[in-house]
């Protein structure tokens, strides 16, 4: 993304219209705390960036936070982004409602508006809400996303575009599926970057079907988070330079000029993990998933920390608190939670076994050298558009954390 700004940053949107890389950049800028800097006001990105940098940096993966601030600096200095108006900054954290929601709007010179929804932060509340998607819909942040989109549409008569990374993408597609019909008609594109999907009821809505043709879905080759729940069957696979869950960090995604570098299909690991999670979530009752999530975060909350970073900093105290909390669970709840955890582990073992078998078969048939991976065979995707893949089952599954702790 930084290379894109260096290469295209001197071109205004009047010369080069907004595209997929612009949407990715806006999705990452949404993680910055514009609300603290601007309140209910608005300002050019160049001025807003100075106010953001005057604040204490947000918690989270230090490398990712640093990359986003570097992106903000580069965008603010550029012709392309520096004069765009940043407005409608919202940042809501409500522990009582178990909600973490943030969004910001970027107004382009042609009168159009890019609405960017933030993914999950480092708080336990944000992660708990993600996991709640496995048994409840809408969760509070999804309802807030619909409200925000309807309100953002009132502030401009122009075209609307939506974008979001991880949970932010989930909020974007939920908002366009459930917003007012007149608002949906003004949405030109919805950009999803490695975002978990929706529950079966939302997939069946007329609003979702109406908007689906305008959805642009992007996932890395070993996508895990972006293949959970019911996701669009049309998606573009982007080459990432990282491994495994670290590919969720979009700063590892490779670009080819104004577009992504693409691959024909997802790799074995991504496809098998999705099938495994779908099978597990289909076989478990919503009430069992609710019990597991509520118990898990009740135990985590016993450490008296608000973020996973705080838990890691005080890991000895945290470990003791978690152990004591597990010991004091009533026997029936503890047994149920351990059974679910055991089933999840068994699903993971089965997934690994099948994955090793597929790679061994590839090596034996000369498809690749032993020990090296390649994408699984499927209908190739065109380089400049999404590929059609078999429609996934819209099984419920938890949205996972947006900032992987793995080094990238």
Domains and CATH numbers, the chain: 2-267 (3.40.50), 273-374 (no CATH)
- Intra-chain end-to-end CA distance of the chain, in Å: 16
SS3 category, 263: strand
**Residues 173, 168: Cα–Cα separation, whole Å:** 9
Contact 275, 257 (CB under 8 A): no
pLDDT of residue 404: 39
Look at residue 8 in the predicted model and tell me its pLDDT.
Answer: 86
Residue 356 corresponds to which tokens in the numbers above?
């090793």
| 127 vs 220: CA distance, rounded Å | 22
Spans in the chain with pLDDT lower than 50: 368-408
CA–CA dist 43, 317 (Å, integer): 44
> CB pairs under 8 A, 24+ apart, for 384-391?
384/259, 385/236, 386/216, 386/217, 386/234, 386/235, 386/236, 387/234, 387/235, 387/236, 387/237, 387/264, 387/265, 388/233, 388/234, 389/233, 389/234, 389/235, 389/265, 390/233, 391/233
| Cα–Cα dist 137/201, whole Å | 9
Report pLDDT for 244.
86
Partners of residue 387 on adjacent β-strands: 235
Task: Return the axis-axis angle of helices 167-178 and 140-154, rounded to nearest 10°.
Answer: 60
Q: Looking at residue 397, what DSSP letter applies?
A: -
Residue 141 has phi, psi (to 5 degrees) of -65, -30
Strands (E), 60-129: 85-94, 99-107, 113-117
């Amino acid at each position: 993304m930084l290379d894109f700004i260096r290469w295209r940053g001197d071109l205004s949107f009047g010369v080069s219209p907004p595209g997929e890389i612009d949407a990715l950049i806006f999705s990452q800028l949404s993680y910055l705390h514009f609300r603290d800097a601007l309140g209910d006001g608005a300002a050019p990105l160049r001025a807003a960036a100075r106010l953001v940098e005057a604040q204490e940096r947000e918690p989270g993966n230090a490398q990712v936070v640093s990359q986003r601030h570097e992106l903000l600096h580069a965008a603010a200095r550029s012709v392309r982004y520096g004069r765009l108006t940043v407005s409608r900054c919202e940042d809501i954290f409500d522990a009582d409602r178990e909600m973490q929601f943030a969004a910001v709007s970027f107004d382009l010179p042609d009168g159009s508006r890019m609405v960017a929804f933030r993914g999950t932060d480092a708080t336990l509340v944000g992660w708990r809400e993600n996991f709640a998607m496995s048994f409840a819909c809408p969760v509070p942040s999804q309802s807030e996303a619909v409200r925000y989109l309807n309100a953002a549409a009132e502030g401009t008569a122009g075209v609307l575009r939506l974008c979001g990374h991880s949970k932010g993408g989930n909020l974007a597609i939920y908002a366009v599926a459930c917003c007012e019909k007149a608002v949906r008609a003004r949405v030109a594109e919805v950009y999803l970057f490695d975002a978990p999907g929706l529950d079966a009821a939302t997939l069946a809505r007329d609003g979702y079907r109406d908007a689906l043709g305008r959805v642009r879905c992007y996932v890395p080759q070993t996508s895990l988070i972006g293949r959970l729940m019911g996701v669009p069957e049309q998606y573009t696979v982007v080459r990432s330079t990282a491994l495994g869950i670290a590919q969720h960090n979009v700063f590892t995604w490779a670009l080819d000029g104004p577009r992504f570098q693409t691959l024909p299909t997802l790799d074995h690991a991504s496809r098998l993990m999705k099938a495994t999670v779908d099978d597990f979530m289909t076989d478990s009752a919503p009430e069992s998933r609710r019990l597991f999530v509520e118990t898990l975060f009740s135990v985590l909350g016993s450490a008296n920390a608000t973020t996973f970073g705080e838990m890691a900093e005080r890991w000895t105290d945290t470990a003791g608190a978690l152990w004591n909390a597990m010991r004091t669970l009533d026997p029936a709840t503890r047994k149920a939670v351990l059974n679910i955890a055991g089933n999840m582990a068994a699903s993971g073992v089965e997934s690994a076994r099948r994955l090793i078998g597929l790679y061994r078969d590839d090596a034996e048939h000369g498809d690749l050298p032993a020990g090296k991976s390649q994408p699984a065979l499927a209908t190739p995707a065109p380089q400049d558009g999404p590929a059609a893949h078999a429609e996934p089952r819209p099984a419920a599954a938890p949205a996972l954390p947006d900032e992987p702790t793995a080094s990238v």
